[in-house]
Chains A and B, each alone.
Chain A
Amino acid sequence: MGLFDKLAFVAQARQALDEMGIDPFNVEIEEILSPTEARIAGRKVLLAGTNNYLGLTFDPRCIEAACQATRSEGTGTTGSRTANGTFAGHRALERELAEFFGCAKAIVFSTGFVANLGVISTLTGPGDTLIIDGDSHASIYDGCRMGGADILRFRHNDTVDLEKRLRRLGDRAKNTLIIVEGIYSMLGDRAPLAKIVSLKKRYGFWLLVDEAHSLGVLGQNGRGLGEECGCMDDVDFIIGTFSKSLGAIGGFCVSNHPELDLVRYASRSYLFTASPSPATIASVRRALQVLAAGANLRERLWANAHRLYEGLSELGYRLGPEPTPVVAVYMGSKEETLACWKELLENGIYVNLVWPPAAPKGESLLRCSVSAAHTEEQIERIVSLFGDLAANVGLRHAPA
């Protein structure tokens, strides 16, 4: 065994899952039918855990753009952005992102995870200080660790705790980078950005907002939490992904600091990984146009989000703190939550199973995410099956 000894606990946990007949962390989508339907384990399933917020993965305009780009530019760039991997489309997408956000500079990365790694670890290093929300995404934690700066974390969404940490830093506070998320991926709650910006005005720190789950979801034009709170100008760096609302894969950072361009030359995760394929870039450019063109999809998304949140709430379920397109449902212990996940799948609904430490405070969750592509009937079906679930599984945490 040797190197694999440290994974013995994984083997043990996996064996228990194997005995159940399905591994919730290794699900195969046998056939993807639409943004909201797939075939899993031989049965047609309604997808309610995909982050496909605007439902653009099957948008004919995006598909056509991707097909055209593949025909004319090939299947891949076979190189990093720094070498032979910057095509005209990559540059055009950067200009379009900068224009969409009203920012001076934009950099496109190969994934959202890599954007966080690359930007955070390049902007901060030994001797610098970062303060991050305790519920931050793994890519934020890893980006912070990679840079070698001092990392402090504050209690999730607790600006009183954040201010204590700023005060304790004294003069160091003004050169500290604070990182928060527009919508937190597990509980679906927003960062208290207006309060954080007022702290910024007092302490003078730098502010980075990860809008991975809020791009296309929040703000009048879908720019994210910064736009919704009217504080775009107070945010130094916005990081985002193409793999949720924009229906593809890739990541970006935008900023009004002209020096952002220097990150290209110093970020290892930009320098040493292949750039997004022409098909990806073309479909993202088209999706960004769709997103920018109007609020129809966003309005449908929010109508669905409220319908699901309110439906589950009326059933008596304990949910994440506020209605957003990420709806977290507390189901009790790990074992109870797993049983519910399996029950839902067998009845034709796929949601995300989240166990601690991925779920905050040691609790387990069924994480639903809704899409603009869900129909009213599909949302009602999800609510209805959650209603049946309580009776079928006999949970003490779910309604009787």
Chain B
Amino acid sequence: MAVPQKDYAEIFEAVKAILERFDKVPECIREEMEIVNDLGLDSLRVMELVQEVEDAYDISFTLNELAEIRTVRDFVLRIQKEIEA
């Protein structure tokens, strides 16, 4: 899938910046990392992350969509899709 690199990179950096504010998240966040298994976010902290991103981009994610997101890359792509919709 062709990804507009600039937008993707910007969103990735923004998500990374939000994640870095969470306790116990590894210092080096890579896009292939799984949000729950690798970054150690439990369900409540995942919702905090989602709400911060929703406010930052003025978008809403359905719980149905969130169930399909596993990695940081999945999340960034989903944000990008929502912004472009």
A399 within 8 A of B: no
Of the residues B47, B58, B59, B62, contact of A150 by C-beta under 8 Å: B62
- Contact A362-B42, Cβ < 8 Å, known A150-B64, A155-B51: yes
- CB pair B58 A168 closer than 8 Å: yes
- CB pair A152 B44 closer than 8 Å: no
Q: Which residues of B contact A150 (CB under 8 A)?
A: 62, 64
B5 within 8 A of A: no
- Contact A152-B63, Cβ < 8 Å, known A134-B47, A361-B44, A362-B42: yes
A151 within 8 A of B: yes
Interface residues on B, range: 10 to 19
B43 within 8 A of A: yes
**For the complex of A and B, 8 pairs with smallest distance between CB atoms:** A151-B63, A150-B62, A362-B44, A168-B60, A165-B60, A152-B60, A151-B62, A152-B62
- CB pair A151 B44 closer than 8 Å: no
Interchain Cβ contacts within 8 Å, total number: 32
CB closest residue in chain B, given A168? B60
- Contact A151-B64, Cβ < 8 Å, known A134-B47, A168-B58, A168-B59: yes
- CB pair B58 A164 closer than 8 Å: yes
Q: Which residues of B contact A129 (CB under 8 A)?
A: 62
A230 within 8 A of B: no
CA distance A144 to B63 in the complex (A): 10
CB closest residue in chain B, given A141? B63
CB closest residue in chain B, given A150? B62
| Chain B 38-58 near chain A by CB (<8 Å), digits 1 or 0 | 000011110100010001001
What 5 additional pairs, Cβ within 8 angstroms, besides A151-B64, A362-B44?
Answer: A134-B47, A153-B63, A164-B55, A164-B58, A357-B44
Q: Which residues of B contact A165 (CB under 8 A)?
A: 60
- CB pair B43 A357 closer than 8 Å: yes
CA distance A165 to B59 in the complex (A): 8
Q: Which residues of A contact B47 (CB under 8 A)?
A: 134
- 13 A–B pairs (Cβ distance < 8 Å), ordered by A: A129-B62, A145-B63, A151-B62, A152-B63, A155-B51, A164-B58, A165-B60, A168-B58, A168-B60, A169-B60, A356-B44, A357-B44, A361-B44
CB closest residue in chain B, given A359? B44
| Chain A 127-159 near chain B by CB (<8 Å), digits 1 or 0 | 001000010000000001100001111010000
CA distance A399 to B64 in the complex (A): 43
Instruction: Give the residues from 55 to 98 in chain A that come closer than 8 angstroms, CB to CB, to chain B.
Output: none
- Nearest CB on A from B48, distance (A): 9
CA distance A168 to B42 in the complex (A): 27
